[in-house]
């Protein structure tokens, strides 16, 4: 019987005759030997598979739709190019993401989020020709209006609305649509602001409304509830002032299984339920169907990624379970420390071996919280074995750090049977970048 953990690995994962985990037939241990560990390996076939699942869902929408990728999940120039080629736009949340993204994708296909954009950032965003700016708050709206007036440019905007709708995610820090959350305008604020923006003399072009109520959730109902509040607002604005909502974005946030016990979370029926909700709302309020824009991050990229680590020492004395140390953890994946996120793992070089003990997996950093996995059944792990952690594609490297002077890992993309390094492992010299020592 095959190991249920395998269902969490990328779709092109197999085990060869030597018991090695392979992606697109390439043994992960060979990649670890060639590029060193910690190493992040992405199966591009899995990314395309996830994109296709979203597109299948959107196919039931009779008007225009656009899939964008929430680049905060993970971004580099190679990924931006692949997404551009697949026709996706980018959801960006900082000037840095715009800067990286525009090396591969066109800035016109980006919409820019963030709850504290600066005037200097706006200047550069205009030079980069970012397609749409998502207004998060009234201060920003005032600044943006003044900015557009000064530049004599009509700037396309959406309003990000905080609908005060709760949703269950894996951690309170990933709930973004309740009144307590730092994001978005209240419905009342949005209504009054919209009236100013749709006035003929307004230098801003209010094209649509946006809502994103959380990340890594597994239920569609609260999203539909949040959407209903936005459609109510759109209907009011249409009735009172003839404003037509041309674009509508219900955000991202669909979860992924991280653990063999997690239920599978098919994307297509979730997207179909969003489509149904938009169509019902439009029919109910007699609104024209807007262009429907989705912005998933995790569910597109997390299942494509595997993190590889080399096993080092073992401890058992005084421990509730045996503990193995690996050469990465908190610095490349802060999610377990930040959100108590749970992972599983296999040995990439001994994938057929029986799992004979349950261990705790810890990283090398000077923090007791540097525990990558609290408990995972594994074969008796030896120093030099390669630990493969699936579902590592999202919110690891984009949240990574140089803690303890660690070097950010290399990244490999496997596409059409070929492995290509798209990011080098940082070198020691990189740690000195930007530092000035006037005291030497
Ligand atoms: C505005 C916005 N859209 C989309 C996303 C993507 O979320 P996820 O990666 O869970 O799909 C996020 C992340 O929380 C976000 O803040």
pLDDT per residue as tens digits for the range 291-321: 999 999 999 999 999 999 999 999 998 888 9
- Please check whether residue 66 lies inside any domain of the structure: yes
From CA 239, how far away is CA 237, in angstroms rounded? 6
Residue finishing a domain among 301, 336, 359: 301
From CA 71, how far away is CA 108, in angstroms rounded? 15
- Please check whether residue 248 lies inside any domain of the structure: yes
User: Which has the closest alpha carbon to 255: 308, 303, 307?
Assistant: 303
- Please check whether residue 357 lies inside any domain of the structure: yes
| Largest interatomic CA distance in the chain | 74
User: Which has the closest alpha carbon to 303: 254, 268, 336, 270?
Assistant: 254
Q: How far apart are the first and last CA of the chain?
A: 62
Kindly state the average pLDDT of the residues 329-354. 97
- Reported as a single tens digit per residue, the pLDDT across 25-60 is 999 999 999 999 999 999 999 999 999 999 999 999
Whether residues 143 and 258 share a domain: the answer is yes
DSSP element (H, E) containing 285 = helix 267-285
Whether residues 286 and 311 share a domain: the answer is no
- Reported as a single tens digit per residue, the pLDDT across 154-191 is 999 999 999 998 888 877 888 888 888 999 999 999 99
Residue finishing a domain among 301, 330, 358: 301
Residue finishing a domain among 272, 301, 330: 301
Kindly state the average pLDDT of the residues 223-247. 97
Q: With a 6 A CB cut-off, is 299 part of the ligand 1 pocket? A: yes
Kindly state the average pLDDT of the residues 407-422. 98
Q: What is the DSSP string of 120-148?
A: HHHHHHHHHT-SEEEE-SHHHHHHHHHHH
From CA 118, how far away is CA 383, in angstroms rounded? 49
Q: Could you tell me the two tokens for 235?
A: 């209907």
Whether residues 185 and 323 share a domain: the answer is no
Q: With a 6 A CB cut-off, is 393 part of the ligand 1 pocket? A: no
Domain that holds residue 347: 4-43+305-432
Q: Would the pLDDT of 217 be above 90?
A: yes
Minimum CA distance residue for ligand 1 atom 1: 212
* pLDDT given at position 408: 98
Q: Could you tell me the two tokens for 128?
A: 């980069």
Whether residues 132 and 261 share a domain: the answer is yes
Whether residues 126 and 251 share a domain: the answer is yes
Whether residues 262 and 232 share a domain: the answer is yes
Question: What is the pairing mode between strands 346-347 and 386-389?
Answer: antiparallel
Q: What is the dihedral of CA 343, 302, 28, 85, to 10 degrees?
A: 180
* pLDDT given at position 171: 78
- Please check whether residue 226 lies inside any domain of the structure: yes
Q: Could you tell me the two tokens for 339?
A: 């959100």
Minimum CA distance residue for ligand 1 atom 8: 253
* pLDDT given at position 170: 76
Whether residues 18 and 77 share a domain: the answer is no
Q: Would the pLDDT of 267 be above 70?
A: yes
Whether residues 178 and 285 share a domain: the answer is yes
Minimum CA distance residue for ligand 1 atom 4: 252
- Please check whether residue 438 lies inside any domain of the structure: no
Strand partners, 419: 414
Inter-CA distances, 367 with 35, 38, 259, 404, Å: 27, 18, 25, 10
Q: What percent of the chain has pLDDT over 90?
A: 90
- Please check whether residue 331 lies inside any domain of the structure: yes
Whether residues 61 and 31 share a domain: the answer is no
Kindly state the average pLDDT of the residues 3-14. 97
* Torsion sign over Cα 158, 163, 164, 166: negative
Testing ligand 1's pocket by substitution, the residue of 174, 212, 257, 302 carrying the most ligand atoms inside 8 A of its CB is 212
User: Which residues neighbour 180 within 8 Å (Cβ) at sequence distance 6 or greater?
Assistant: none
Whether residues 350 and 279 share a domain: the answer is no
* pLDDT given at position 1: 62
Q: 332 in helix, strand or coil?
A: coil
Q: Would the pLDDT of 139 be above 90?
A: yes
Q: Which long-range CB contacts under 8 A does 58-62 form with residues at least 24 apart?
A: 58/271, 58/275, 58/292, 58/294, 60/272, 60/275, 60/276, 61/275, 61/278, 61/279, 61/289, 61/292, 62/279, 62/289
Q: What is the mean pLDDT of the chain?
A: 96
CATH assignment of the domain containing 175: 3.20.20.10
From CA 429, how far away is CA 247, in angstroms rounded? 46
- Please check whether residue 439 lies inside any domain of the structure: no
CATH assignment of the domain containing 25: 2.40.37.10
User: Which has the closest alpha carbon to 135: 228, 226, 204?
Assistant: 204
User: Which residues neighbour 419 within 8 Å (Cβ) at sequence distance 6 or greater?
Assistant: 26, 31, 41, 412, 413
Whether residues 370 and 271 share a domain: the answer is no
Strand partners, 89: 68
Q: Which of the 8 DSSP states describes residue 254? A: B
- Reported as a single tens digit per residue, the pLDDT across 375-390 is 999 999 999 999 999 9
Overall domain count for the chain? 2
Q: Which band of pLDDT confidence, cut at 50, 70 and 90, is reported for residue 340?
A: very high
- Please check whether residue 20 lies inside any domain of the structure: yes
Q: Which of 132, 249, 282, 366 is catalytic?
A: 366
Strand partners, 14: 22
User: Which residues neighbour 264 within 8 Å (Cβ) at sequence distance 6 or greater?
Assistant: 7, 257
Whether residues 69 and 32 share a domain: the answer is no
* pLDDT given at position 305: 98
Residue 366 a catalytic site member: yes
Kindly state the average pLDDT of the residues 218-224. 94
Q: Would the pLDDT of 336 be above 90?
A: yes
């Amino acid at each position: 019987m095959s190991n249920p953990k395998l269902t969490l690995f990328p779709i092109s994962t197999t085990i060869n005759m030597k018991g090695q985990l392979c992606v697109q037939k390439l043994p992960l241990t060979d990649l670890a030997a060639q590029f060193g560990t910690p190493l992040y390996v992405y199966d591009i076939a899995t990314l395309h598979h996830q994109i296709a699942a979203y597109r299948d869902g959107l196919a039931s929408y009779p008007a225009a739709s656009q899939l964008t990728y929430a680049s905060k999940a993970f971004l580099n120039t190679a990924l931006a190019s692949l997404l551009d080629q697949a026709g996706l736009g980018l959801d960006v949340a900082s000037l840095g993401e715009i800067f990286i993204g525009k090396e591969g994708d066109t800035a016109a296909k980006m919409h820019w989020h963030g709850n504290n954009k600066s005037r200097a950032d706006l200047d550069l965003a205009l030079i980069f020709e970012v397609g749409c700016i998502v207004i998060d708050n009234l201060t920003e709206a005032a600044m943006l209006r003044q900015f557009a007036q000064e530049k004599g440019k009509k700037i396309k905007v959406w309003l990000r609305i905080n609908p005060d709708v709760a949703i269950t995610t894996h951690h309170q820090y990933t709930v973004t649509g309740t009144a307590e959350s730092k994001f978005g305008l209240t419905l009342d604020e949005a209504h009054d602001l919209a009236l100013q923006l749709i006035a003929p003399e307004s230098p801003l072009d209010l094209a649509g409304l946006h809502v994103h109520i959380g990340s890594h959730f597994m239920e569609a109902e609260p999203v539909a509830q949040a959407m209903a509040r936005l459609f109510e607002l759109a209907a009011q604005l249409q009735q009172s002032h003839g404003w037509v909502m041309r674009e509508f974005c219900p955000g991202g946030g669909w979860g992924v299984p991280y653990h063999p016990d997690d239920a599978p979370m098919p994307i297509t029926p979730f997207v179909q339920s969003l489509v149904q909700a938009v169509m019902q709302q439009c029919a109910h309020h007699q609104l024209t169907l807007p262009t429907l824009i989705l912005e998933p991050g995790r569910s597109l990229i997390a299942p494509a990624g595997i993190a590889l680590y080399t096993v080092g020492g073992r401890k058992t004395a005084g421990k509730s379970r045996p503990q193995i140390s690996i050469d990465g953890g908190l610095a490349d994946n802060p999610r377990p420390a930040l959100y108590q996120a749970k992972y599983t793992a296999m040995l990439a070089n001994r994938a057929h071996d029986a799992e004979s003990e349950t261990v705790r997996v810890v990283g090398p950093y000077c923090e007791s919280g540097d525990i990558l996995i609290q408990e995972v059944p594994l074969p008796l792990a030896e120093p030099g074995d390669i630990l493969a952690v699936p579902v590592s594609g999202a919110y690891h490297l984009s949240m990574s750090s140089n803690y303890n002077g660690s070097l950010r890992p290399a990244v490999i993309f496997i596409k059409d049977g070929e492995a290509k390094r798209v990011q080098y492992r940082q070198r020691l010299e990189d740690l000195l970048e930007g530092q000035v020592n006037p005291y030497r």
